[in-house]
Homo-oligomer: A and B are copies of this chain.
Amino acid sequence: MANMKKSEVLKIIGQNIKRIRLEKGFTQVDLVGKIEARIDTTNISRIEKGRTNATIHTLYKISQALEVPLSEICDVYFSERV
């Protein structure tokens, strides 16, 4: 729960996205194709890798493409117990 470092938060969120994406059988290119607003595999990759501190609207667009609630992507509590 408590006080994760920035890098750790970003890494967990990236892992969430990647996990959900793979569960749904999407490639990064698939995602880009599904997102109405513009986004790039470059950016998706950086977010999945936890290298970028994405804005909430970018994460929202990704959640739309993944067909899950934004809050699912932002769930940092389960991963934390690993």
Interface of A toward B, CB cutoff 8 Å: 2-4, 6, 9-10, 13, 36-37, 53-57, 59-60, 64, 69-77
B residues in contact with A76, CB < 8 Å = 60, 69-71
How many of these chains are in the complex?
2
Of chain B, the residue at the smallest CB distance from A76 is B70
A53 touches B56 (CB 8 A): yes
The answer on a CB contact under 8 Å between B64 and A74 is no
Chain B residues whose C-beta falls within 8 Å of the C-beta of A36 in the assembled complex = 3
Do A57 and B3 touch (CB < 8 A)? no
| A-B contacts besides A10-B56, A71-B74, A73-B74, 14 pairs, CB < 8 Å | A6-B60, A9-B60, A13-B56, A53-B57, A55-B56, A56-B74, A69-B76, A69-B77, A70-B75, A70-B76, A71-B71, A71-B72, A71-B76, A74-B74
